[in-house]
């Protein structure tokens, strides 16, 4: 399972780093101690060494996001949020929505079949891209009305699974999203082991595309 987490200046630290840690542990555990069961990495649209997150943390970047038709395109592309409600025009999800490059890239990847998962107001970048139109999604409570007005079907759940599009609510729900995907990919045992090592009490109630939870 290859996972890319798309970073930009102003992303919320926990939106990206929380899922990264979950996937990093899982890919090691699932391989049974020999090599790894895939990779997880931080990517950006352009070649650069680091980004600065919303609370000032500098995070190193592993690579530029591959083109949708590249050989190393990820199995899962994770999109964190950050700074949407503050309307930070310099460094935030809001700023990236206004620039347009991230939404265009997300639309291209979605059209090419890349599975995408958003955390917090990362959903709003997908909405800007038109990816969430008519789809079951969730976002941070502070952006729910905007998401609904964009044409998405907002679901009252911590994590929403709508097939090739997954979303999580505010900040810490990204950990639940990642654990849910780990369980789907590698089984409950691996997911529980990761939750134990990070001392995280899992929160369930995932809304699936068929309406089940």
DSSP 78-147: EE---STTTT-SSSSHHHHHHH-HHHHHHHHHHHTT-EEEEETTHHHHHHHTTTTTT-EE---GGGHHHH
Q: Does residue 191 sit within a domain?
A: yes
Domain range for 66: 2-208
- Per-residue pLDDT at 117: 98
Tokens standing for residue 19: 């899922």
- The tokens 């709003």 sit on which residue? 124
Classified as helix, coil or strand, 72 is: coil
Flag whether 113 is in a domain: yes
Q: In which element (H, E) is residue 167 found? A: strand 165-168
In a domain, 51, yes or no: yes
**Count of domains for the chain:** 1
pTM for the model stands at 0.96
Residue 213 lies in a domain: no
How far, in Å, CA of 84 to CA of 212, rounded?
30
Q: What is the pLDDT along the chain (213 residues), one digit of tens a residue?
A: 999 999 999 999 999 999 999 999 999 999 987 789 999 999 999 999 999 999 999 999 999 999 999 999 999 999 999 999 999 899 999 999 999 999 999 999 999 999 999 999 999 999 999 999 999 999 999 999 999 999 999 999 999 999 999 999 998 999 999 999 999 999 999 999 999 999 999 887 799 865 444
Residue 13 lies in a domain: yes
Residue 198 located in a structural domain:
yes
State residue 209's pLDDT score.
Answer: 67
pLDDT, residue 32, reads 86
Q: Is 23 exposed, middle or buried (0-12, 13-18, 19+ CB in 10 A)?
A: buried
Q: Give the pLDDT of residue 204.
A: 75
Query: At 87, phi and psi to the nearest 5?
Result: 55, 40
Residue from 167, 165, 166, 121 nearest 145 by CA: 121
CATH at 149: 3.40.50.880
């Amino acid at each position: 399972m290859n996972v890319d987490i798309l970073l930009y200046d102003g992303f919320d630290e926990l939106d990206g780093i929380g899922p990264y840690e979950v996937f990093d542990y899982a890919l090691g555990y699932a391989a049974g101690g020999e090599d790894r069961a895939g990779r997880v990495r931080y990517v950006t649209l352009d070649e650069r060494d680091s980004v600065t997150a919303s609370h000032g943390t500098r995070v190193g970047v592993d690579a530029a996001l591959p083109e949708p038709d590249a050989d190393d395109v990820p199995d899962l592309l994770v999109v964190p949020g950050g700074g949407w409600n503050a309307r930070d025009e310099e460094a935030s999800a809001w700023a990236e929505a206004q620039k347009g490059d991230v939404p265009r890239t997300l639309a291209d990847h979605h059209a090419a079949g890349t599975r995408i998962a958003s955390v917090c107001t990362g959903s709003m970048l997908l909405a800007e891209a038109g990816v969430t139109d008519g789809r079951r999604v969730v976002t941070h409570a502070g952006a729910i009305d905007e998401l609904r007005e964009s044409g998405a079907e907002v679901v009252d759940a911590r994590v929403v699974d709508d097939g090739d599009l997954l979303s999580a609510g505010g900040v810490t729900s990204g950990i639940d999203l990642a654990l849910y995907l780990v369980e789907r990919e590698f089984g409950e045992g691996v997911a529980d082991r990761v939750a134990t090592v990070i001392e995280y009490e899992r929160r369930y109630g995932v809304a699936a595309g068929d309406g089940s939870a």
